[in-house]
């Protein structure tokens, strides 16, 4: 688990991709910490970190060894704990982390969700989230129609969806798939979104 404690009343929970608590997650946590937030990134893979070249192995390990239901339950417990010490709790998730955040948001317990390329959100569109959500996707995904998913999600109250040039993973500068301009814009929107929700 990664933690940055700044004595803030507001916590940001960062949910990692299938690769675990890698350098990208460390950088994301540090960036939110520099903005003054308390930051927590739970380790959903029990200490295992995968290289980008191990994508298939990492995905299989998550799906077979953890799964979305267990991960969502673990995150829900963490949010409940943070609720006892913070007035607001936000979630920022990447890929599977975005999908996990979306699943938990349908149950409540957070004040806002930012999700980067949570492609499996498409399997959980039956119930809208119980908090505002901002979702980012690449303009194209190999496995599904992004435009169709955007339209479906955008019809939900409180859900904003933006498509960006680039591939799945466009916000990770270490992955080889980074689209710098898209990442910069999405990160700026994330900060503005959470800041706006803080102000009520």
Query: How many Cβ atoms from other residues are within 10 Å of residue 104's Cβ?
Result: 27
Radius of gyration, alpha carbons of the chain = 15
pLDDT of residue 24: 98
Closest CA relative to residue 131, chosen from 162, 110, 153, 160: 110
- Which pLDDT belongs to residue 76? 97
- Please report the pLDDT score of residue 33 as a whole number: 98
Question: What was the pLDDT predicted at 90?
Answer: 99
Q: Which fold has domain 2-199?
A: Rossmann fold (3.40.50)
pLDDT digits (tens), the chain, 200 positions? 999 999 999 999 999 999 999 999 999 999 999 999 999 999 999 899 999 999 999 999 999 989 999 999 999 999 999 999 999 999 999 999 999 999 999 998 999 999 999 999 999 999 899 999 999 999 988 889 999 999 999 999 999 999 999 999 999 999 988 999 999 999 999 999 999 999 87
What tens digit of pLDDT does each residue of 169-183 get?
A: 999 999 988 999 999
Q: What's the rounded Cα separation, in Å, for the pair 108 and 113?
A: 11
Asked if residues 186 and 136 have their Cβ atoms less than 8 Å apart, the reply is yes
Could you tell me the two tokens for 191? 């900060």
Contacts of 145 (CB under 8 A, 6+ apart): none
Question: Can you give the pLDDT at residue 127?
Answer: 83
Average of per-residue pLDDT values in the chain: 95
């Amino acid at each position: 688990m990664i933690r940055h404690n700044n004595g803030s009343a507001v916590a940001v929970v960062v949910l990692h991709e299938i690769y675990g608590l890698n350098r990208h997650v460390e950088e994301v946590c540090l960036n939110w910490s520099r903005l003054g937030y308390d930051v927590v990134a739970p380790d959903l893979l029990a200490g295992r970190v995968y290289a980008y070249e191990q994508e298939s192995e990492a995905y299989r390990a998550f799906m077979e060894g953890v799964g979305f239901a267990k991960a969502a339950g673990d995150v829900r417990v963490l949010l409940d704990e943070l609720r006892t010490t913070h007035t607001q709790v936000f979630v920022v998730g990447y890929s599977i982390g975005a999908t996990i955040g979306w699943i938990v948001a349908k149950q409540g317990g957070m004040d806002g969700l930012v999700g980067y390329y949570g492609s499996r959100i498409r399997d959980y569109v039956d119930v809208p989230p119980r908090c505002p959500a901002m979702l980012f996707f690449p303009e194209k995904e190999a496995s599904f129609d992004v435009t169709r998913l955007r339209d479906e999600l955008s019809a939900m109250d409180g859900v904003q969806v933006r498509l960006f040039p680039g591939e799945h993973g466009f916000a990770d500068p270490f992955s080889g798939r980074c689209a710098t301009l898209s990442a910069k814009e999405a990160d700026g929107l994330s900060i503005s979104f959470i800041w706006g929700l803080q102000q009520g």
